[in-house]
Chains A and B, each alone.
Chain A
Amino acid sequence: MIPELGEYALILALGFSVILAIVPLYGAASLKTIWMEYAKPLAKAQFFFMAISFACLAYAFGQDDFSVQYVANHSNSQLPMQFKLSAVWGGHEGSLLLWALILSGWTLAVSLFSRGLPLDMLARVLGVMGIIATGFISFLLWTSSPFLRYLPRYPRDGADLNPLLQDFGLIVHPPLLYMGYVGFSVAFAFAIAALLSGRLDAAWARWSRPWTNVAWAFLGGGITLGSWWAYYELGWGGWWFWDPVENASLMPWLVGTALMHSLAVTEKRGVFKSWTLLLAIFAFSLSLLGTFLVRSGVLTSVHAFASDPERGFFILVLLVLTIGGSLTLYAFKAPNVKSESSFGWFSREMLLLINNVFLMVMAVTVLLGTLYPLLIDALGSGKISVGPPYFNALFVPIMGLLVVSLGFSTVARWRNTSLESVKQQLMLPGIISLASGLIFPFLYGDGFNVRVFIGISLSMWIITTVFREFKGKFRSTTSITEKLKQLSPSYYGMMLAHIGVAVTAIGITLVSVYSEERDMRMAPGDTMELADYQFKFLGTKSVKGANFVADQGTIEISLDGESVVTLYPQKRRYNVKKSMMTEASIDPGLFRDLYLALGEPLADGAWAVRVHYKPYVRWLWLGGLLMALGGIVTVFDRRYRKNDTQKQGVANA
């Protein structure tokens, strides 16, 4: 009964999104206030029924209702409760339902936090989001309903959730990631609304900015969490694999980063307008493309859940309608938006434009690398796969260039900057950065290392320029605390995010260069040494979890005779799927991780033991979190809350 209610609720949600896609947009086009007024209640109703639908599916999981196919395929009565609930999005149908729920959540949020927005703009934005929701809910209902039953004969127990996904990371990772993906739909809807109304001014950019920043922060948080999850769960200590699914989330993040900066320029200086619109369309398009790549099965990947041409075809049609439609609209309407001012060849505008270009090139690099195997295949010239070497060779150098120009744009002024003042401001940061890059490998490692030199210099370049510019803010004030209060949350958010970039860069550099790892055959009582630490293997014993049995090793770690920690890596065998999982045991630290994993059992109680020493690996995620935090902080800026735009309204449209 409950699953049927879920299906009905989904159908009702579809009904409301269809009306939302038609009525307010028609109202905005024909200046009918009452029609536009419908946008808000429709958004609320749509969310209400999506939430009911989702709750019904969660209930079916909680109750072990294995007559529902999706539940039977992704859950099991032995599964602990928290994983039963997160299994709701452990497969294709459920994760799409989550996608649609989050989309209606964003729609609701726009309708709630839109007091300053003119009615016609609100109607258009919500209407566009209604169109997207219509597409996705139809996709769910026609190709991927999670509520289908096995009747009359249903399985006694479920097939269980993939053990890789039975983890805290999976509970949080997809919702965060989807918050980001889907969040770009708001920026997209704003862009379409601007194209439709022909209105693109500073106020428009000010409305779009907080939504973009929050979506970007969620996406960054999701990517960070995903990388951390891969690190501790996959059991070999890697943190990024250039897997198609990872790439699918990285591309919208890169374009989103460009969009944030371009929006800033559009708001402050009234230029880059049509570029900003294009980026907003791209960011969401790449989110959709990512969904297509992951869901259609055109690319094989560790993450891919399902491969189904019918579904793929449906998403492809959705892509053509949304992206194709919006790009067509763009091509015809973009000439209507005009720049309001000009800028010199050496100015913050120009530098941000350069940064934007770098970010786009990075996104295109990732896109090509991800699609290349598919392109070659479609052209009939055989099948190939692109490995990490391609990505590292292209992506990393461009990222370096981006960081260099980041330093310049931090201190440059709007409109026009004199070379002299930039030189004067950057001399000291430049020297400090190069010096730290030079000295660090001698202090930390055993001699000069080019990669460390470049990595540390670039990171220090970001940090020193950010602080140089911060210091400049105090030039003309006497009261430091007063000035600190005066600076806006946007400003602090920007500082945080830029420092986050530096922290991540430090982490990537040091963990790539100074990691050590060893695989050893260890019998009980054996000791090995790695990076000054001694590891003593005390043997394994059998332990039993809720739905698995495991061999659990005990390894004592000491440093110069002093005990540091005892770790318990496991080799699990899950009862239902009969699959083996390596559960690494990690002693985390700000400056180093000790990472232990059990390999294969050998004769006489001995095991192959894999030991990693990972310096500064936490920095990589810490930086990601700082960036996300920075994005969130900017939203608290008071100017996003001002109601000064109320006076412009329908009449203006």
Chain B
Amino acid sequence: MNDALLSVSGLTKRYGGMTALNNLSFELHTGRIIGLLGPNGSGKTTLIKIICGLLQPTEGTVTVKGNPIGVESKKVISYLPDSTYLGKSMKVSEIIAYFRDFYADFDEMRAYDMLEKLGISANDRLKTMSKGTKEKVQLILVMSRRAGLYILDEPIAGVDPAARDYILSTIISNYDENASILIATHLISDVENMLDDVIFLQQGNIIRFSSVDEIRGVDGKSVDGLFREVFRC
């Protein structure tokens, strides 16, 4: 019996002749914050979309708590994509109702609480919000689930330092204690203090999967330092 939260085995994704992911195998366990790190185009988003069931793998399998990608895996995963996925004409209250109806682990009170702190009311419509506010609303929805695995794709790309602090502290204050977080980013120095483990992805290959303590202890480097060394142009 495999007790891994996420198990990826022999995962390959090809687009025509181009290999986006090349025979990846790894496992994630509960209670960890894992950084999925790599330059743009290294396959981070492709990997995430396969885990979330938005892309079909060419070869290999992915299981979440032993279940293949499907209804059961989607109950466990709370996914923040790298773009806005909410219908523009929706009101905040309609989106909350949507999440409440479909996700049994959604904590409505928590979501309204966080929205209120940002001064967003239930009757506001998404199309009246700035891009930054929309992204915050989306983050609040995703972090208001008591999920088993949070998958966050570039949550702090292109935001100002104040928004970055808000996003990171929202993630840390809200994720479920027994859950894990997989956070994909190329902005390593901003997140490295919160990571337990890192996965370095380069051109669809995992070139390093180790704990941050190991990188600091054994390599004597910061994750950012090691990253700059590995991915030197």
Question: Do the two chains belong together in a single complex?
Answer: no
